Amino acid sequence: MMTERTSIKKGIRKSIKRVLSGIQPSGRLHLGNYLGAIRQYVDLQAKGHECFYFIANYHALTSLQDKAALEAATLHVATAYLALGIDPDRSVFFMQSDVPEVTELCWLLNTVCPVSLMQKATSYKDKVAHGEAANMGLFDYPVLQAADIVIYDSNLVPVGQDQKQHIEITRDLAIKFNQAFGRDVLVLPEPYIVPEVAVVPGIDGEKMSKSYDNAIEIFQTPRQTQKRCAQIVTDSTALDAPKDPDKCSVYALLKLLADDVEAEEIAGSYRAGGYGYGHAKARLAELINELFAPARDRYAELEKDPDTVRDILRTGGAKARLVAQETIARARDSAGILTSRSVASG
Ligand code: ADP
Ligand code: TRP
């Protein structure tokens, strides 16, 4: 079983972790996905950790039940991950559905999961409150997520704040499984959340999300980004009047993208008056367009070559599956689930 390891490179001892994260292909990627999650994926990959990043298409099916839309979103998210810096030579990059063992592990975990634990899960309640159909897949969503994580013996899970409870549930389920079957079969993961970007606000000031129609998409034209930034909701304080930057969603986003000196200058301009929300929105759009210009170019190139993207996913899926097969064999064996294969091999 893989746990944390250390490597000694050039005399420096460093701890190598198994990192895992996923994003649902339920729509187009946005600034919150990038700042809250994907940027950390790329940083952890650069630090030399063993990274596994995947597209959670079985999770997306709990809310997106439209063949063409799910297929298109899967290819979009795959292309976007690559354009934003996931390097398939350094990270294992794949689709959840290429590792069927994960749904099998979900079943094993279901058998140790108290219904009351799922009833406490806030994302199910939030999604149903936002009009999603209350299907069993949506209810069981955290158990499938737990299987995603523990099947690769993951140590660290980079996510935004909204996923924290799911990582806690994963730990609970791994503990329950290990208690039930008497051994350290499953590794307990930890969340990796960067506080400043844990909850990136959308254009309405609420958490930015694909499903709340409040997102600023990453892959759109500079003009579309300007228009979207112009739609950020602000109060009606007059141009000349002083404004409080800390009560403004435009400033909340600016602070995440501008360097510290510029962020301070803009805060000063807000307080002094004579600086309108329009100025702030225009600067925000510029910063977003600068940040994503290289990724947008790479996306446009990759989009022309979907077969390459599919090949990368296929190779990653095969690598991920090898790891998953070891874990599922260990989990089945510890629970006394015989298969013809295990009986035949003794
Ligand atoms: P969405 O809510 O838009 O459907 P996902 O649930 O697919 O996004 O999230 C993918 C990753 O991006 C997760 O790790 C999630 O925590 C992170 N994320 C999504 N929205 C935000 C946000 N507004 N701020 C910070 N992180 C976010
Ligand atoms: N639930 C996550 C989200 O909505 C997506 C996801 C599925 C995930 N499985 C995961 C994230 C495993 C981290 C680890 O964003």
Domains of the chain: 12-199+305-345 (3.40.50.620), 220-302 (1.10.240.10)
Residues 6+ apart with CB under 8 A from 196: 256
* Catalytic option among 14, 17, 67, 127: 127
Instruction: Report the separation in Å between the CA atom of 207 and the middle of ligand 1, taken as the mean of its atom positions.
Output: 9
Q: Which ligand is nearest to the CA of 152?
A: 2
286: Cβ below 6 Å to ligand 1?
no
pLDDT of residue 2: 45
Closest to 74 measured CA to CA, from 88, 61, 85: 61
> Per residue of the chain (346 residues), what is the pLDDT tens digit?
545 555 555 555 579 999 999 999 999 999 999 999 999 999 999 999 999 999 999 999 999 999 999 999 999 999 999 999 999 999 999 999 999 999 999 999 999 999 999 999 999 999 999 899 999 999 999 999 999 999 999 999 999 999 999 999 999 999 999 999 977 999 999 999 999 999 999 999 999 998 889 999 999 999 999 999 999 999 989 989 999 999 999 999 999 999 999 999 999 999 999 999 999 999 999 999 999 999 999 999 999 999 999 999 999 999 999 999 999 999 999 999 999 976 554 4
- Beta strands, E only, 24-174: 50-55, 91-95, 156-158
- Output the CA 23–ligand 2 centroid distance in Å: 5
Residue type, 131: G
pLDDT of residue 275: 94
Q: What is the pLDDT of residue 8?
A: 55
207 catalytic? Reply is yes
Query: What pLDDT is recorded for position 11?
Result: 52
For the entire predicted model, the pTM comes to 0.94
Q: Is 304 a catalytic residue?
A: no
Q: How far is the CA of 220 from the centre of ligand 2 (A)?
A: 24
CA distances from 145 to 12, 20, 58, 346 (A): 35, 11, 10, 32
Task: Determine the angle formed by the axes of helices 101-110 and 136-150, rounding to 10 degrees.
Answer: 110
DSSP string over 6-33: EEEETTEEEEE-EEEEEE--SS--BHHH
At residue 346, the pLDDT reads 41
DSSP 156: E
Instruction: Identify the pLDDT of residue 183.
Output: 77
Q: Under the phi-then-psi rule, with left for phi > 0, alpha for psi from -120 to 50, and beta for the rest, what region is 92?
A: beta
Is any atom of ligand 1 closer than 6 Å to the C-beta of 59?
no
